[in-house]
Amino acid sequence: MINYNNNPKNYNNRILTEQINTTSNELDIKSTKEIVKIFSEADKAPQKAVEQAIPEIINAIDEITKRLKLNGRLFYIGTGTSGRLGVLDASECPPTFCTNPDLVQGIIAGGIPSLTRSSEFLEDVAEIAISDLKDRNFSNIDVLIGITASGRTPYVVEALNYSKGINALSISISSVPKSDSSLNNDIDIRLITGPEILAGSTRLKAGTATKMALNIISTSVMIKLGKVYDNRMIDLSVSNDKLMDRAIGILFDIGLVDKDTAVQLLKKTNGSVKLSLLIALSGLDVIEAKQLLNDTNGNLRTALIKVNSD
């Protein structure tokens, strides 16, 4: 049930994400060209917002990496657009970096049905957040990123409170200044994109900035975990023709082998690009290469340094 008594009395003091964007006044009578130009100009704001939050994003990446190296997991939690963005980023990690689906998880209020159907009423049911985290066995070795554009979503606020309460690493991503919202966290990422073209529609600038930040965070963490060599995804698993072509290309460029040799290496390693690269660059056999990767925590560069130093 909506609590009308909680609605602000002074609408001149609305939080930033609910304020009116004067650059889009009379949007409904603009030409298509004018509308597109307004959006194009407004969409410069997310990049600036992410740039201004670089120190907090760096801190988040380093602290998340520490936790994951100690067998922790990363969770995103949110409602509506924020929840969908978290689920999207989490779901991209297994195919991109060959991670276990449990390593990075996205939680959205209402579960899977909320990915395609509106369930905004659940934003206000704070206690569900705790049960959703407990259902995933969320613990003090894990990381929680609470995503709430307004900085006030009860579901996310309660999740952050619970996370802090059990000493898990707690990170918040919001799109309002601290004067609009105080969040219980260890790392406070504020992506200030200003009022939306459509007042309150945070799927626009705020959502774009959030997706950018999540891309940077998850990709950087995977780089730190040794799932990237140079600027290539080497911890991918060949499961279709496109990925086979990508794997052959990586072995050609980095391993300096021809196509036939690349295919043979991938057959020997059950489609492991990283293991195939180590064999190609070191001359080790499959068993020796597997052992070396195990000894170097799966880091190809470290493994190659060890081979060259022996």
Tokens 């086979």 belong to 244
β-pair partners for 76: 106, 145
Neighbours of 47 (CB within 10 A): 13
Residue 133 and residue 156: Cα distance in Å, rounded?
11
Residue 43 and residue 178: Cα distance in Å, rounded?
23
Of the residues 56, 123, 158, 196, only one is catalytic, namely 123
With H, G, I as helix, E, B as strand and everything else as coil, classify residue 289.
helix
Of the residues 34, 56, 63, 92, only one is catalytic, namely 92
Is there a contact between 172 and 188 (Cβ–Cβ < 8 Å)?
yes
Six-digit token string for 155: 């579901």
Burial of 201 (0-12, 13-18, 19+ CB in 10 A): middle
Say what angle helices 205-224 and 80-97 make with each other, to 10 degrees. 30
> Is there a catalytic annotation at residue 123?
yes
Six-digit token string for 157: 């606020």
Residue 16 and residue 202: Cα distance in Å, rounded?
11
Which secondary-structure segment (H or E) carries 156? helix 154-165
Six-digit token string for 197: 């073209």
> Is there a catalytic annotation at residue 26?
no
Would you please indicate which residues are annotated as catalytic (active-site) residues?
Answer: 92, 123
